[in-house]
Amino acid sequence: MTYPQYVPKIGRFNTSDLNLPTILVYLETLDLGANSSVMSGYITGFIGQFFIRNYRPRWYKNYLWLWSGASDAGASLTLMMLSLAVYGAAGNPHPFPRWWGNHIGDGEYVDHCPNPNDLQ
């Protein structure tokens, strides 16, 4: 059995035209490493362009440009601050901060994010 038998149409779109395994494999890679901002951009775009546009058209017309600009500026500022303060763009890099969630024993603290080089 395939997915078009369960959900034959989404609106006027026929789901038998989708290659869902390929879409899901490529969506899986968008939340790792340097591509992690891409997935959040897709989610934000989907929320803005589908839900807000269909269910809150007045808010979409008046305020979506402000929401887009604010989220874009916030992401850029976060990246700049992390690059300068933590990753070493302004000099020496600093180790990952110590907190209860990254302690592995013997005074060693690590970042538990997967290494993108190990995933290839």
What's the confidence (pLDDT) of residue 58?
92
- C-beta separation of 64 from 58 below 8 A: no
How far is Cα 42 from Cα 35, in angstroms, rounded to an integer?
11
**pLDDT value at position 1?**
46
Q: Which residues of the chain have pLDDT under 70?
A: 1-5, 30-37, 95-105, 107-120
**H or E element that contains 104:** strand 103-105
- Looking at the domain assignment, is residue 22 inside a domain? no
DSSP state of 109: E
Give the range of the structural domain holding residue 111, as residue numbers without chain letter.
57-119
Look at residue 75 and tell me if it is in a domain.
Answer: yes
Q: Is residue 114 part of a domain?
A: yes
- The span from the CA of 83 to the CA of 56, in Å, is 37
Handedness of CA 41, 47, 119, 92 (dihedral sign): positive
Give the chain's domain count.
1
- What pLDDT is stored for residue 38 in this prediction? 73
How much is the pLDDT for 101? 66
Residue 107, domain member (yes or no): yes
What per-residue confidence (pLDDT) applies to 21? 75
Query: Is 81 part of any domain?
Result: yes
